[in-house]
Structure 1
Amino acid sequence: MTQTYNFNPGPGPIPNEVLAKAQQNMFNFEQTGMAVMELSHRSAAYERVHFHAMNTLRELLDIPDDFSVLFLQGGASLQFSMLAKNFLSDNKAGAYVLSGSWAEKAQKEGAAIGEVYTAAASSNRTYADVPVFDPADLQENTAYVHLTSNNTIYGTQLSDWPACEQPVFVDMSSDILSRPIPWDRVDLAYAGAQKNAGMAGVTIAIIRTSLLDQASGSLPPSLSYKQHADKDSLYNTPPTGAIYITSLVLDWIKEQGGITEMENRAKEKAALIYDVIDRSNGFYSGHADKDSRSWMNITFRLPSEELEKKFLNQASERGFTGLNGHRSVGGCRVSNYNAVPREHVEILRDFMLEFQQNHS
């Protein structure tokens, strides 16, 4: 079989060791004669998976005791409306920092539920940087500040976490488990699992427990963070298979050396590609400003769309997949998630150098 180098932006790759273990155990879990997906979510066998995943996540991210860990469904996109539904009460407004398309969508869904406003935006610069704002300028009626920590489409990443008096909610779908989270400055972090935390189907939400009692009292139970927290994310049938894969991914991260090791690897791998871009004399031009560059998603253009097409076609012939930029912006994108091996990045680097040499 031809070697595949998976740089898809999401769903992203899952570590080979995890896939091998899942293949070995998933379909006859703990000699029950049943696959994980067939187990009752009330059974002792599944509960071991469920709470192991929660506890390992708490350990890896050093989550304080006064935070609740939730496994939800609906993807990060449902969180756009769910957090607004929980916390946008009458006479309160959600403040959104617009750093890319996903932040725009989060604000749009919040606006369907209550009052929202833009705290800062870099849309006038084609989202080439992460906008900075002064927390002192937030409206007095601000219920929360919404941030997007990493922008997959534009290749930018938040590095300076603001200190706000208001609760700070962060979409971390594309960089969770790749770096530490400053819990003194984050009150709710959420992420779809399919980039760094497993497979599509489960959404992680980590919320300061004191916020649960502040949520709107008129919520349907299925949309209530408090309801899911009180039931240990077992209020309804959870995505058991996806949570099992997340559990294995978390074990893998722990075995590799934890979040610090993931962060170091991400920076080292990304530096290999950024170095090619910076030394190419403009043949490859990065989209993001250097001080806003993402370690997870590296976006760049070539001198012409014709050359970009040739680059992507030849890359595909070599076994690279997922290098197309998002359809809304074009260009090229390298997604550098935890499970992408360094040697695959080195092979891509060599291909980029070869392509430049052949077409300069």
Structure 2
Amino acid sequence: MAMSQPATRPASKPVAVPANPRFSSGPCAKPPVFKLDNLADAPLGRSHRAAVGKDKLKAAIDQTRAVLGVPADYKIGIVPASDTGAYEMAMWTMLGERPAEMVAWESFGAGWVTDAVKQLKIEHTVHTADYGEIVDMAALNYNNDVCFTWNGTTSGVRMPNGDAIPADRSGLTLCDATSAAFAMDLPWDKLDVTTFSWQKVLGGEAAHGMLILSPRAVARLESYTPPWPLPKIFRLTKGGKLIDGIFSGATINTPSMLCVEDYLQALDWARSVGGLTGLIARANANAQAIWDFCDAHDWIANLAVDPATRSNTSVCLKFTDDRITDGAAFAKAVAKRLEAEAVAFDIGAYRDAPAGLRIWCGGTVETSDIEALLPWLDWAFHAEIEALSHA
């Protein structure tokens, strides 16, 4: 509900500024210790199939498993085209064996729905919820394959847990976890296919995706051949058997060894802050600072309706003051004002999402920078309200 208050613009701008104003939701802020010099060990100009390249790629896989706690019998592969490539690869190689439950509560989930409905044209049921809401995951038919995002990057709404997913399901669960991995506790026994990219929670470079397969997913790949042609970069089997080299560092196409080195450095940093537990704690602290700010100001609120589903990475906010007649223009003006002051870059809501702001709170962001940003957000809001009154 829109709220009105006799808001008065603060007399002066805040003094403290974030040390790092990069709050983009992707590519995300680099780890606080990042330096280009740290990448000096990258085997540039060497083949990724040489021993040094294969060792680096295998280390990226092994360290991913260690930090995330991925079970030993799950396969982890580095694939092309970021999270999008990884998730498309899973859909095009595994779906169609049975009907699919397509789940969306924001734009990226909606994209997977489009693929299943208009491209693959498989038998399906679509389940959607508005931005700020979430689908009732307990109502799905898990004897079918289920495709969903764990965290809605453009809505700030996440799965609270995996309790709704039955252990005795017959279908596969395909989870896009790109803004959840390394910031949320993923229940691996409930996830058959999990994808993410380096450029989100660990602040890695773009264009590389991670594909994690349970034994059940591997069994599907080895027992089912989809009726449509598969491009080379999607092929995970040969002669009815998994191409196991993909999951030990023999990538389908040429990866950037500079990006691989950057990811390895990010994983080293992740371990230094306490691994997954430490990363979750950092993201929680960042998000909590914003939630507390919203609780103290009645002109702004979390887009997520249920506190249990609030994202601790892509925190999406909406303005609730009833003096705002054009929400999109107002939010854009606030974001532009903050960028002009070099205190917050790239925090506008996603283009398909409701008008508002989106502030990245993953573990590479320092809580002190979030805390320094918030008084500026207060100042920018009041400045724009004042501008409206003189318009």
The answer to whether the superposition gives a TM-score over 0.5 is yes
Structure 1 residue identity aligned to 2:245? D
Structure 1's 88 and 327: CA in aligned 2 closer, same or farther, altered over 3 A? closer
Which of 258, 268, 272 is 2:275 aligned to?
258
Quote the offset at 1:316 in angstroms: 1.3
Q: 1:22-171 maps to which residues of 2 (within 5 A)?
A: 23-27=36-40, 29=41, 35-90=42-97, 92-111=98-117, 112-118=119-125, 120-122=127-129, 126-134=130-138, 137-138=140-141, 142=144, 144-161=145-162, 162-164=164-166, 165=169, 166-171=171-176
Structure 2 residue identity aligned to 1:327? R
Which of 282, 285, 293 is 2:301 aligned to?
285
CA contact (8 A) 2:183 2:312 kept: no
Structure 2 residue identity aligned to 1:314? R
Which of 324, 342, 349 is 2:367 aligned to?
342
Structure 2 residue identity aligned to 1:156? V
CA contact (8 A) 1:119 1:133 kept: no
> Residue 9 of structure 1 corresponds to which residue in structure 2?
25
Which of 206, 217, 226 is 2:225 aligned to?
217
**Secondary structure of the equivalent of 1:176?**
coil
- The superposition leaves residues 221-240 of structure 1 with CA deviations (integer Å, 9 ceiling, x where unpaired) of 53133455334241432332
Structure 1's 85 and 308: CA in aligned 2 closer, same or farther, altered over 3 A? closer
* Distance in structure 2 (CA, Å) of the matches to 1:62 and 1:296: 20
CA contact (8 A) 1:8 1:321 kept: yes
The structure, 1 or 2, with the larger RCO (C-alpha pairs under 8 Å, 6+ apart) is 2
Structure 1's 299 and 75: CA in aligned 2 closer, same or farther, altered over 3 A? same
Q: Are 1:318 and 2:341 matched, yes or no? A: yes
Report the TM-score, using the length of structure 2 for normalisation: 0.80
Moved more, 239-248 or 318-327: 239-248
**Secondary structure of the equivalent of 1:170?**
strand
* Distance in structure 1 (CA, Å) of the matches to 2:317 and 2:189: 34
Q: What is the percent sequence identity of the aligned residues?
A: 19
* Distance in structure 1 (CA, Å) of the matches to 2:146 and 2:276: 25
- The superposition leaves residues 142-174 of structure 1 with CA deviations (integer Å, 9 ceiling, x where unpaired) of 2x2112011121111111312230221110111
Structure 2, unaligned stretches of length 5 or more? 1-17, 387-391
After superposition, the CA RMSD in angstroms is: 2.4
Quote the offset at 1:210 in angstroms: 4.0
Report the TM-score, using the length of structure 1 for normalisation: 0.87
- The superposition leaves residues 3-29 of structure 1 with CA deviations (integer Å, 9 ceiling, x where unpaired) of 640011111111132x31xx22534x3
* Distance in structure 2 (CA, Å) of the matches to 1:149 and 1:190: 10
Moved more, 5-14 or 159-168: 159-168
Quote the offset at 1:116 in angstroms: 4.4
Q: Number of aligned pairs?
A: 342
Quote the offset at 1:97 in angstroms: 1.6
Quote the offset at 1:298 in angstroms: 1.5
